[in-house]
């Protein structure tokens, strides 16, 4: 007897292990690892979905095994690489195996769907599958199907006599179109043309064309490019007359693509050196990670494209991750025009069906280049030659929900399997990555200039403590407004950033710029309106909201922040004639909203683009000569040790949008903290100095990358229960750690109550704790077994958010 070990589709601790099922004999060929099945589960014996994890010869289970009820896939949806990746991911991120397996699949495969088979060659008359045919060449595979019929389908599939498709729903049915092909000889077409009626103009045109290109083949569109007046009726008529044959072929729901062709550039010396290093690793099959640190506009993308082309040239595939927000049509077109027909794009703007089509094109090897956001790290590519992560410092590469993976870790893990290089690129690398490059774990490649002698923009700091403001407008300095006016006069474009990160979460003095900080930590206190207090989220310190500034005694002390809509109105009042586009969560919430705004701005249909941090990336428009940052300080005062790093990154990225072509770019940064090092160094676009300085502070404060961090959070409906539990965890965990490990907290989470659940947390900072991971696994078992009592535990390794 063969036994399938199945992971059941219930994300819970009790079911987080394989369960044994008997494989019926006829299905031995089909029931293999990576295939989804339905199995009876629990005392009621209800059918549940699951994945076959392993197959073994006999079971340790003493009772009688239940058989697998149904097989859902005729081919595994996850191959052995993906299965072991899931295994690693589950351990690495403290997640349920089933959550990892599900994460790797397009959501279409989680939805309701039907399976159909499509015949490539007609069935033999006595084939049992004839009973399933419901059209000339296809049939539905019922959920409850005789194992013998299933085995027959599989046999014919192996012999390539049929193929199997999943149909997600009515809407995402496989799209078919007709292909028309000439089948007669040139002379025969010529003869037919001689006999055609003189007024059958289209027929005559068709036959004339066929007598020259008798075996032409293509869909309606390709025929029409040859014969512009040709109609479907004429083509179908020609089929009836036996001049052409037609067949139905599947078309993929290709996301829209444009036609701008980006010419391949001649690389600069710096680009060439980076390219040579990377392709050397591809060729030598080295599993090396490169950090490509290149100033904004230095041509990093150009290096990626060339390196991918090299991998393809060796017959391998390539993966490129970009942040969701940078996945603009501009970006996608740039890749598609380099690799026509080979690119699959995976992003959240696709419909379930589109995403599934792209996934299948990759799986079948039809798309050999994949561009996508975070979850594209799981693209079912094989034979990977290179994996790239652009803007590697971006927080969106880390998933917030289980599995809490970082896409960087995933591609590095996959690169081990494929012995291929990973390229992490950024103008402002995360400190973690830059530090690894310093230690030699990554190889550092640098691009210090823009190509073609294009200058970096000049950056000016506007000291808002002294600046003259536009009357009645607290957030706009006269200087910035003057600059915008000049651009309007010259018919150039301006980008204005309203930094909303940490909006209204902290308290600042409007006269001296002082931000209220924790006495014990180098971190600003967070405003909690509900309890009228300021709190530190690292050590738990709490104090009342002050009436006056402790530094200058001014009463002009308030929480800080301004809405995009308000600023838009203000600017519109100042420049009634200006065309303003606003980009924030409100204007981009509908599908494609973000891209519409960007394209509109790109066509110069607006003079000013005002937006939140989402405007900081990916824009590459020649008419943008001014970038204004309305409030640089908001992100600086976040209660997070990465506040300076995020501010530096944001200011550098947004500054990099200016003057990318011939016209020189200028940047104005409005700030209440003009002497702050992150702002100063961002103004000089000096990443290296920022890195050195920030590393010193991290060292002093004992923060990453000098320490690893783990966030443990518990929540419960009753606040006192959550508090009790978090202290209990702390008491239990502390003795298992070495004296070098630091446990911060317990503290309440910034938004302590969500959905009537109270959240409390601990942060562990450590360097080398051999027992920690095992202890946390034990903790999970203890907390999520039968005795969970309404508690939920969350363990987040290397969290990007501590709030």
Tokens of 720: 């006192």
Counting every residue written for the chain, the total comes to 803
- Binds 266, which of Zn ion, ligand ATP, none (CB < 5 to 8 A, cut-off by type)? ligand ATP
Let me know if 46 is exposed, middle or buried by CB neighbors in 10 A (0-12, 13-18, 19+).
exposed
User: Cβ of residue 412: shortest distance to ligand ATP, in angstroms?
Assistant: 21
Per-residue binder mask for ligand ATP (CB under 6 A), 435-454, x = binder: ----------------xx--
Nearest approach, Cβ of 493 to ligand ATP (angstroms)? 16
Query: Which of 18, 24, 50, 294 lies at the binding interface for ligand ATP (CB under 6 A)?
Result: 294
Q: How far is the CB of 424 from ligand ATP (least distance, A)?
A: 13
Nearer to ligand ATP, 294 or 380 (CB): 294
Residue 336 within binding range of ligand ATP, rule CB under 6 A: no
Shortest approach of ligand ATP to residue 457 CB, angstroms?
Answer: 11
Q: In what order do the strands lie in the sheet with 666-671?
A: 458-463, 666-671, 624-629, 493-497, 608-611, 580-583
Q: From the list ligand ATP, Zn ion, none, which binds 475 (C-beta under 5 to 8 Å, kind-based)?
A: none
C-alpha neighbours within 13 Å on the C-beta side of residue 419: 5
Residue 268 interacting entry, from Zn ion, ligand ATP, none, C-beta within 5 to 8 Å by type: ligand ATP
Cα dihedral across residues 471, 473, 477, 480: positive or negative: negative
Structure tokens belonging to residue 36: 């989804």
Q: How far is CA 439 from the centre of its chain?
A: 28
Handedness of CA 334, 339, 341, 345 (dihedral sign): negative
Dihedral sign, Cα of residue 237, residue 241, residue 242, residue 243? negative
| Partner that binds at residue 704, options ligand ATP, Zn ion, none, CB closer than 5 to 8 Å by kind | none
Closer to ligand ATP by CB, 388 or 480: give it.
388
Smallest distance, Å, CB 582 to ligand ATP?
Answer: 22
Q: Which of residues 451-510 bind ligand ATP (CB under 6 A)?
A: 451-452
Pick the binder of ligand ATP from 5, 288, 298, 649 (CB under 6 A).
298
Binding at 294: pick from ligand ATP, Zn ion, none (beta carbon under 5-8 Å per type):
ligand ATP
- Segment near ligand ATP (CB under 6 A); pick from 39-47, 185-193, 263-271, 589-597: 263-271
Q: CA-CA distance, 297 to 450, in Å (whole number)? A: 6
Question: For 684, phi and psi rounded to 5 degrees?
Answer: -85, 0
Per CB under 6 A, contacts with ligand ATP among 264-293 are 265-268, 271
Q: At its nearest, how many Å lie between Zn ion and the CB of residue 432?
A: 23
Site for ligand ATP in 139-178 (CB under 6 A): none
> Does 587 sit near ligand ATP (CB under 6 A)?
no
Which own/partner contact pairs does 437-442 have at CB distance under 8 Å and 24+ positions apart?
437/291, 437/293, 441/289, 442/289, 442/290, 442/291
* Cross-strand pairs, 626: 494, 666
Cβ proximity to ligand ATP, 157 vs 620, nearer residue: 620
Binding to ligand ATP in span 601-630, by CB under 6 A? 620
Q: Does 427 bind ligand ATP (CB under 6 A)?
A: yes
Binding window for Zn ion (CB under 5 A); candidates: 237-245, 486-494, 530-538, 726-734? 530-538
713 touches which of ligand ATP, Zn ion, none (CB within 5 to 8 A by kind)? none
Helices and strands: H and E segment counts in the chain:
21, 33
3-class state of residue 737 by DSSP: coil
Q: How far is the CB of 748 from Zn ion (least distance, A)?
A: 13
Using CB under 6 A as the binding rule, whether residue 301 contacts ligand ATP is answered as: yes
Instruction: Report in angstroms how near the CB of residue 519 gets to Zn ion at its nearest.
Output: 7
| Residues between 683 and 712 with contacts to Zn ion, criterion CB under 5 A | none
Q: Is 95 helix (H, G, I), strand (E, B) or coil?
A: coil
Helices 300-313 and 329-338: angle between axes, nearest 10 degrees: 40
Which DSSP helix (H) or strand (E) runs through 150?
helix 147-158
Q: Of the candidates 539, 737, 742, 773, which one interacts with Zn ion according to CB under 5 A?
A: 539
Q: Does 538 bind Zn ion (CB under 5 A)?
A: yes
Report the residue number, 555 or 684, with the smaller CB distance to ligand ATP: 684
Beta pairing class for 507-509 and 557-559: antiparallel
φ, ψ for residue 93, nearest 5 deg: -110, 10
Which entry of ligand ATP, Zn ion, none binds 338, CB below 5 to 8 A by partner kind? none
User: Does residue 420 have a known ligand-binding role?
Assistant: no
x/- string (CB under 5 A) for Zn ion, residues 552-581?
x-x---------------------------
Residues in contact with 702: Cβ distance below 8 Å, sequence separation at least 6, in sequence order:
742, 765
512 carries a ligand binding annotation: yes
- Dihedral angle of Cα 467, 471, 473, 474, to the nearest 10 degrees: 40
Rounded to the nearest whole angstrom, what is the least distance from the CB of residue 177 to ligand ATP in the complex?
A: 35
With CB under 5 to 8 Å by kind, the binding choice for 512 among ligand ATP, Zn ion, none is: Zn ion
Does residue 429 touch ligand ATP according to CB under 6 A? no
Instruction: Answer left, alpha or beta for residue 172, where phi above 0 means left and psi between -120 and 50 means alpha.
Output: alpha
CA angle 155/157/161 to nearest 5° reads 105
Residue 88 has phi, psi (to 5 degrees) of: -60, -45
296 binds, among ligand ATP, Zn ion, none (CB under 5 to 8 A by kind): ligand ATP
> Could you identify the residue written with the tokens 């190889």?
443
Residue 43 counted as an annotated binding residue: no
Task: Tell which residue, 372, 370, 371, 374, has the closest CA to residue 383.
Answer: 370
CA 748, CA 753: separation in Å to the nearest integer?
9
Q: Is 539 annotated as a binding residue?
A: yes
Please confirm whether the linkage preceding 609 is cis (ω < 30° from 0): no
- 299 in contact with ligand ATP (CB under 6 A): yes
Q: Is 328 in the site for ligand ATP (CB under 6 A)?
A: no
Q: How far apart are the first and last CA of the chain?
A: 53
Residue numbers 477-516 binding Zn ion by CB under 5 A: 509, 511-512, 514
Pair type for strands 422-426 and 384-390: parallel
Chain centroid, CA 787 distance in Å: 36
Minimum CB distance to ligand ATP, residue 265 (Å): 4
Shortest Cβ 260–ligand ATP spacing (Å): 11
Task: For residue 604, give every residue at least 6 positions away whose Cβ sits within 8 Å of its Cβ, in sequence order, or none.
Answer: 493, 623
Residue 176 CB, shortest distance to ligand ATP, in Å, is 39
- Which is it for the CA torsion 207, 213, 219, 224, positive or negative? negative
Minimum gap (Å) between residue 458 Cβ and ligand ATP: 17
Is 100 annotated to bind a ligand? Reply is no
- The DSSP symbol for 328 reads -
Q: Is residue 372 part of the contact set for ligand ATP (CB under 6 A)?
A: no
Residue 659 touches which member of Zn ion, ligand ATP, none, C-beta under 5-8 Å by kind = none
Residue nearest to ligand ATP (CB): 299
Query: Helices marked H in 21-146 — which ranges?
Result: 80-92, 97-103
Confirm or reject binding of residue 297 to ligand ATP (CB under 6 A). Answer: yes
Residues marked as binding for Zn(2+)? 509, 512, 518, 521, 536, 539, 549, 552
Binding-site annotation: residue ranges: 509, 512, 518, 521, 536, 539, 549, 552
Positions that interact with ligand ATP (CB under 6 A): 265-268, 271, 294, 296-302, 427, 451-452, 620, 656, 660
């Amino acid at each position: 007897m063969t036994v399938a070990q199945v992971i059941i589709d219930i994300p819970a601790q009790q079911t987080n292990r394989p369960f044994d099922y008997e494989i019926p004999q006829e299905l031995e060929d089909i029931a293999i690892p990576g295939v989804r099945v339905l199995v009876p589960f629990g005392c009621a014996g209800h059918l549940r979905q699951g994945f076959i994890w392993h197959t073994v010869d006999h079971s340790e289970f003493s009772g009688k095994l239940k058989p697998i009820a149904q097989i859902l896939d005729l081919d595994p949806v996850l191959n052995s690489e993906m299965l072991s990746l899931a295994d690693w991911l589950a351990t690495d991120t403290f997640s349920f195996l089933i959550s990892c397996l599900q994460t790797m699949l397009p959501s279409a495969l989680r939805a309701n769907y039907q399976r159909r088979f499509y015949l490539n060659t007609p069935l033999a008359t006595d084939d049992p599958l004839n009973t399933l045919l419901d059209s000339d060449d296809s049939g539905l595979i019922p959920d409850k199907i005789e194992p013998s019929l299933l085995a027959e389908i599989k046999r014919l599939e192996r012999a390539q006599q049929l193929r199997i498709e999943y149909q997600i729903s009515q809407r995402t049915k496989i799209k078919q179109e007709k292909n028309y092909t000439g089948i007669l000889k040139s002379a025969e077409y010529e003869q037919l043309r001689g006999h055609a009626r003189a007024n059958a103009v289209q027929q005559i045109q068709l036959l004339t064309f066929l007598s020259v290109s008798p075996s032409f083949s293509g869909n309606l569109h390709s025929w029409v490019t040859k014969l512009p007046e040709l109609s479907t009726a004429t083509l179908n008529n020609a089929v009836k007359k036996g001049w052409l044959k037609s067949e139905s072929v599947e078309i993929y729901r290709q996301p829209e693509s444009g036609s701008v062709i980006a010419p391949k550039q001649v690389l600069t010396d710096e680009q060439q050196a980076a390219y040579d290093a990377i392709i050397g690793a591809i060729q030598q099959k080295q599993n090396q990670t490169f950090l490509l640190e290149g100033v904004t506009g230095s041509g990093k993308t150009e290096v990626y494209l060339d390196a991918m082309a090299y991998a393809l040239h060796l017959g391998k595939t390539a993966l490129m991750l970009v942040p969701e927000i940078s996945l603009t049509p501009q970006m996608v077109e740039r890749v598609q025009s380099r690799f026509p027909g080979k690119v699959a794009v995976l992003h959240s703007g696709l419909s379930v069906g589109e995403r599934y089509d792209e996934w299948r094109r990759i799986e079948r090897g039809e798309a050999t280049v994949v561009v996508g956001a975070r979850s594209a790290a799981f693209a079912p590519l094989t034979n990977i030659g290179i994996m790239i992560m652009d803007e590697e410092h971006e927080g969106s590469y880390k998933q917030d929900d289980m599995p809490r993976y970082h896409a960087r870790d995933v591609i590095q893990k996959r690169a081990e399997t494929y012995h291929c290089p990973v390229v992490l690129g950024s103008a402002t690398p995360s400190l973690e990555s830059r530090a690894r490059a310093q230690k030699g774990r990554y190889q550092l490649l640098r691009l210090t200039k823009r190509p073609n002698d294009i200058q970096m923009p000049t950056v000016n700091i506007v000291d808002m403590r002294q600046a003259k403001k536009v009357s009645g407008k607290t957030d706009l300095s006269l200087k910035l407004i003057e600059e915008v006016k000049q651009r309007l006069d010259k018919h150039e474009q301006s980008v204005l950033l309203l930094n909303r990160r940490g909006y209204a979460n902290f308290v600042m003095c409007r006269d001296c710029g002082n931000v209220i900080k924790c006495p014990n930590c180098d971190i600003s206190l967070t405003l909690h309106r509900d309890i009228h207090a300021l709190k530190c989220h690292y050590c738990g310190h709490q104090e009342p909201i002050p009436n006056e500034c402790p530094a200058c005694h001014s009463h002009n002390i308030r929480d800080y922040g301004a809405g995009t809509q308000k600023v838009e109105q203000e600017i519109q009042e100042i420049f009634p004639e200006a065309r303003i586009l606003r980009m924030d969560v409100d204007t981009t919430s509908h599908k494609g909203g973000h891209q519409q705004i960007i394209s509109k701005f790109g066509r110069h249909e607006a003079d000013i683009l005002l937006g939140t941090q989402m405007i900081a990336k990916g824009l590459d428009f020649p008419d943008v000569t001014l970038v204004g940052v309305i409030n640089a300080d908001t992100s600086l005062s976040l209660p997070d040790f990465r506040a300076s790093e995020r501010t530096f990154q944001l200011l550098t990225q947004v500054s990099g949008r200016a003057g990318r072509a011939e016209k020189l770019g200028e940047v104005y940064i409005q700030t209440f903290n003009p002497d702050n090092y992150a702002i100063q160094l961002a103004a000089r676009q000096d990443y290296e100095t920022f890195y050195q300085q920030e590393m010193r502070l991290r060292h002093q404060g004992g923060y990453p990358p000098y320490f690893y961090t783990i966030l443990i959070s518990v929540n419960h409906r009753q606040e006192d229960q959550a508090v009790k539990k978090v202290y209990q965890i702390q008491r239990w965990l502390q003795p298992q750690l070495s004296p070098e490990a630091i446990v911060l907290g317990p503290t309440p989470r910034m938004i302590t109550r969500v959905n009537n659940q109270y959240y409390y947390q601990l942060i562990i900072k450590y360097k080398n704790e051999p027992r920690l991971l095992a202890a946390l696994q034990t903790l999970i078992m203890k907390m999520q077994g039968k005795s969970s009592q309404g508690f939920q535990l969350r363990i987040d390794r290397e969290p990007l958010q501590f709030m």
